[in-house]
Amino acid sequence: MTWSRFLLRRLGFMILTAWLVSLLIFIMMEVVPGDVARMILGQFASENALAALRQELGLDLPAWHRYPAWLAGVLQGDFGNSLYFNVPIGPLLLRRLENSLILAGFAGVIAIPISIAIGVIAGLRRGKVTDHVLSITALAMVSMPEFLTGIGLIIIFSAWLEWLPPTSMILGDASPLDAFKTLILPVTTLTLGMMAYIARMTRASVVEVMQTEYIRMAVLKGMRWHTVVFKHALRNALLPTITVIAVYLGWLVGGLFVVVSVFG
């Protein structure tokens, strides 16, 4: 299978998944009890006011008519209006997506090289004090949920020390320094968990590769140690790590909801 066919196939599955998720959410919202109009206007609203709001929102139309209309609007770039903020969803979504992509980008740039370096050092120092310290620290970070890490950082650096803001929202008129300070805590929260997992995977791969026959043969031939490590060992040891990094990059883009929720 060529790369173009592979990418087109993955893109098709992604579009199909997004459509099925939207359809499932629409069906769930239709099945669960509740009235959107009464939720907006309150329990003491009159029936005339409720009927007028339902007509304005298109809730008086049947479900089989509303979903295709919403889907056609989405395909044209019209996501409708937010019932909570009373503003168009498109610009609101783009602004939030921009912040999420900035967080994911900074976390990836920081976490990937540092975690690989930590994993390589731990793998080359297998069984030594350095390996034990790095492995235990990485295991602790992997076991720590992101929301707990984020709350701990907020308590220490925002509530106690008052060094950094407890938010991840970058305002449009913020200076570069303020934007950098805003990103430190959420990026650190994302980076710690990502670094720990990638470092553990890198360490396991380095340990496995360093025990292979061709590495032992290279050492017996008298090759320089850095040549054995960087030219022969890492070339094969990083293959599983690259796969893990690809998975985590997808998680960074789509799995920021917990961190973004913690930092508002």
106-143 pLDDT per residue, tens? 878 888 888 888 888 888 888 888 878 888 887 777 77
Please say whether the structural domain 91-262 has been given the CATH code 1.10.3720.10: yes
What values do phi and psi take at 243, rounded to 5? -65, -45
Q: How far apart are CA 82 and CA 64, in angstroms?
A: 21
Q: How far apart are CA 117 and CA 111, in angstroms?
A: 10
Higher pLDDT, 48 or 175: 48
Higher pLDDT, 120 or 40: 120
Higher pLDDT, 66 or 180: 66
Domain ranges of the chain: 3-88, 91-262
Higher pLDDT, 257 or 206: 206
Cut 0.85: pTM above it: no
DSSP result, the chain: --HHHHHHHHHHHHHHHHHHHHHHHHHHHHHS---HHHHHH-TT--HHHHHHHHHHHTTTS-HHHHHHHHHHHHHTT---B-TTT-SBHHHHHHHHHHHHHHHHHHHHHHHHHHHHHHHHHHHHTTTSHHHHHHHHHHHHHHHS-HHHHHHHHIIIIIIIS--S-S--PPPTT--HHHHHHHHHHHHHHHHHHHHHHHHHHHHHHHHHHHTSHHHHHHHHTT--HHHIIIIIIHHHHHHHHHHHHHHHHHHHHH--HHHHHHT-
What tokens appear for 235 in the block? Answer: 């070339």
Average pLDDT over residues 77-81: 78
Q: What mean pLDDT value characterizes the chain?
A: 78
- Tens-digit pLDDT profile for residues 210-253: 888 877 887 777 778 777 777 777 778 887 888 777 777 766 66
pLDDT at position 79: 79
Band (178; pLDDT cuts 50, 70, 90): low
Average pLDDT over residues 98-112: 79
Whether the per-residue pLDDT at 254 is higher than 70: the answer is no
Whether the per-residue pLDDT at 152 is higher than 80: the answer is yes
- Tens-digit pLDDT profile for residues 44-67: 778 788 788 777 777 777 888 888
Q: How far apart are CA 186 and CA 153, in angstroms?
A: 9
Q: Comparing C-alpha atoms, which of 262, 5, 256, 257 is closest to residue 107? A: 256
Higher pLDDT, 108 or 180: 108
Q: How far apart are CA 152 and CA 132, in angstroms?
A: 25
pLDDT at position 104: 77
Whether the per-residue pLDDT at 73 is higher than 60: the answer is yes
pLDDT at position 54: 77
Band (179; pLDDT cuts 50, 70, 90): low
Average pLDDT over residues 170-196: 69
pLDDT at position 171: 55
pLDDT at position 2: 66
